[in-house]
Structure 1
């Protein structure tokens, strides 16, 4: 029997919370560093940011001998392992596209980049079929209130009525200023605790490194769908610790 992949979404209704970047970073780390088989379904219409990033990644590899050599070295080192698929999709077709992928190959995890508004029936159906939802939050009242309201709506309208596959919803502190969280975060976490939403122990700092993609200058890259983040840039980013904690949740 084929194993069933875990469906995971970094999901929130607040733009700029970092869900798309986190999806790429975690998917790439799991696939290229940890050795899992991963796929990404990009349903975030009309941006399709991950599909656009994959297109830029491939074009740079095709046009630049430096990245072409990196790709060859990586494929050789990983014993011919392919780049993970990125499927440009919609909330209506997301689950069908995931099933089609699974008919061709086995996957450990399929990540879905979903839009944020719950007034779309197809989005509600897609969310209900996730195994886990990770909601990025920041120490900003508007971001926090928006995300908590979103999760409360998901819990009350999808999870509690028993209409979903959702096994867990976790909050993730993202865009944290400095290396450690301040007292302000403790105040926010007290509010979150009252709502019974678990918060991941790992937090992700606010850093310009998260924008580093392939470039003609060949500087160390961080955000890519065909390479893992550069080891030197991973240090201090908490992406390695985040991935390890996420694996513990997804088991």
Structure 2
């Protein structure tokens, strides 16, 4: 009898580049794996960039050259008694099969596998990969081009992929990213109403704009935010309200 528990397949996905897909994949994977006790794996299928795989190499170098972070990493891995989560490169067209093989061969089944997928549905096998996700999270900003691209992408998922029935998708969740706390733009209200009219799901959590999302930790830094080896600093999470997002994220996926 197969006693392995169900592993959730999750992707931060959008047709628009530069909205934070890889960043949120890293932040959530590191929070769940290093701080919350879940077992996580990541498949980097964003060919040819493979940005997460490259990030892990940079993170390893940075931690080894920063005495504060080296001690922090040593304490962390001693306490949690498990390795860093793997980041596995794979082409999008066969990434689902590779992930299932990984689960079967793992001594401990991962609770979540995050997929960093290409940013266009025209990429080889991308629609099939997206259809194999259980939950999709799509960052949006109050920008006309971002919104138009995102709404077309999200409606494609709901009206074509999900209605065909040949899919594992349970939820598709839009969320506001890069929200300027000083700005009270009517665009949020207008687009919020449009999202509701289209019967799409918009998360309550809003991620505040922060330079931390666009900058990896520096060689002399003492606080980590975006890293594949350490969880984001809790104080920095509160500043941009990532802590509230994580709570809502976990409620949605029912982990």
Structure 2 length as normaliser, TM-score? 0.93
The CA deviation at 1:100 is 2.8
The CA deviation at 1:179 is 6.4
- For 2:102 and 2:216, how far apart are their aligned partners in 1? 27
Q: Name whichever of 140-149 and 117-126 sits farther off.
A: 117-126
Q: Is the 8 A contact 1:94 1:126 kept in 2?
A: yes
The CA deviation at 1:215 is 2.5
Structure 1, gaps ≥5 residues long: none
The aligned counterpart of 1:31 is: 33
Question: SS of 1:204's equivalent?
Answer: strand
Q: Is the 8 A contact 1:205 1:237 kept in 2?
A: yes
The aligned counterpart of 2:23 is: 21
Residues 127-153 of structure 1 deviation map (CA, whole Å, 9 limit, x = unaligned): 111001111110001000100101111
Q: Name whichever of 125-134 and 149-158 sits farther off.
A: 149-158
The CA deviation at 1:225 is 0.5
- For 1:119 and 1:134, how far apart are their aligned partners in 2? 19
Residues 88-145 of structure 1 deviation map (CA, whole Å, 9 limit, x = unaligned): 1110231122123212131111111111222245111111110011111100010001
The aligned counterpart of 1:210 is: 213
Question: SS of 2:205's equivalent?
Answer: coil
Structure 2, gaps ≥5 residues long: none
- For 2:131 and 2:216, how far apart are their aligned partners in 1? 33
Task: Describe the shift of the 1:179–1:42 C-alpha distance in structure 2 as closer, same or farther (beyond 3 A).
Answer: farther
The aligned counterpart of 1:176 is: 179
Q: Is the 8 A contact 2:138 2:173 kept in 1?
A: yes
The aligned counterpart of 2:202 is: 199
- For 2:166 and 2:25, how far apart are their aligned partners in 1? 25
Question: SS of 2:203's equivalent?
Answer: coil
| 2:243 corresponds to which of 234, 240, 243 | 240
Task: Describe the shift of the 1:161–1:177 C-alpha distance in structure 2 as closer, same or farther (beyond 3 A).
Answer: same
Task: Describe the shift of the 1:64–1:97 C-alpha distance in structure 2 as closer, same or farther (beyond 3 A).
Answer: farther
Q: Is the 8 A contact 1:212 1:221 kept in 2?
A: no
Find out whether 1:82 has 2:54 as its counterpart: no
The CA deviation at 1:219 is 3.6
Structure 1 length as normaliser, TM-score? 0.94
The CA deviation at 1:212 is 4.2
Question: SS of 1:14's equivalent?
Answer: coil
The CA deviation at 1:213 is 2.7
| 1:130 corresponds to which of 133, 142, 149 | 133
Task: Describe the shift of the 1:81–1:171 C-alpha distance in structure 2 as closer, same or farther (beyond 3 A).
Answer: same
The aligned counterpart of 2:191 is: 188
Q: Name whichever of 64-73 and 83-92 sits farther off.
A: 64-73
Alignment root-mean-square deviation, CA:
1.6
Q: Is the 8 A contact 2:65 2:219 kept in 1?
A: no
Q: Is the 8 A contact 2:43 2:88 kept in 1?
A: yes
The CA deviation at 1:62 is 3.4
The equivalences for 1:150-165 within 5 A come to: 150-165=153-168
Q: Name whichever of 210-219 and 188-197 sits farther off.
A: 210-219
